[in-house]
Amino acid sequence: MIQKKVCMLGAFAVGKTSLVRRFVHSMFADKYLTTVGVKIDKKQLTHSGKEVLLLLWDLYGEDEFQRVQTTYLRGSSGLFLVADGTRPDTVEKAIELRDKALASLGNVPHVLLMNKCDLSPQWEVRPERLRQLTESGWQIQRTSAKTGEGVEQAFASLTEQMLGGIPK
């Protein structure tokens, strides 16, 4: 079995925890997020016939009062950066967090999850901005915590990127 640590980062209230709740196995309560600043879930999947266990570190959302504790990022093999399509500032926050994380981790695989795709008509993030990001190398996945759309694909995509470097 292959184990990988994956961190989930994003601005406050972008729906990180809700996004994965239905897709992961939990043993710790949400209160850890507000107390310790992190909550750990696990996600089991199969990649190329090999069992893979993702330890998902859900880090407390960053806002003006609380900073993400970068020590939690140590040893991560991949990142999920979550943004809310209805709040353009969350995309910028995701970029900022990514830069901060890569500065300490080095270049690890990461996927930007554009959440709340069920509310597409109300999105304020312009498609041009997303296109720009894609062109600059960002991997973007549209997701919805409400419908579950795109979440499994996000796990599969990040796993693919992380295990790409492992010789078979």
Q: Please, what is the minimum distance in Å from the beta carbon of residue 78 to another protein?
A: 11
Please give the Cα distance from 105 to 48 (Å, whole number). 26
Distance of CA 168 to the CA centre of its chain: 26
Contacts with 30 (C-beta within 8 Å, 6 or more apart), sequence order: 17, 39
**Other C-beta atoms lying within 10 Å of the C-beta of residue 45:** 14
Facing residues of 142 across strands?
114
- Does 104 interact with another protein (rule: CB under 8 A)? no
Burial class (CB in 10 A: 0-12, 13-18, 19+), 93: buried
Name the residue nearer to another protein (CB basis): 38 or 112.
38
Of 11-19, 51-59, 111-119, 149-157, the window that binds another protein (rule: CB under 8 A) is: 51-59
88 touches another protein by CB under 8 A? no
Residue 25 or 131 with smaller CB distance to another protein: 25
Interacting span for another protein (CB under 8 A) from 13-21, 28-36, 81-89, 107-115: 28-36
> Which parts of this chain interact with another protein (CB under 8 A)?
1-5, 25, 27-28, 32, 36-38, 40-42, 44, 53, 55, 57, 69, 71-72, 74-77, 166
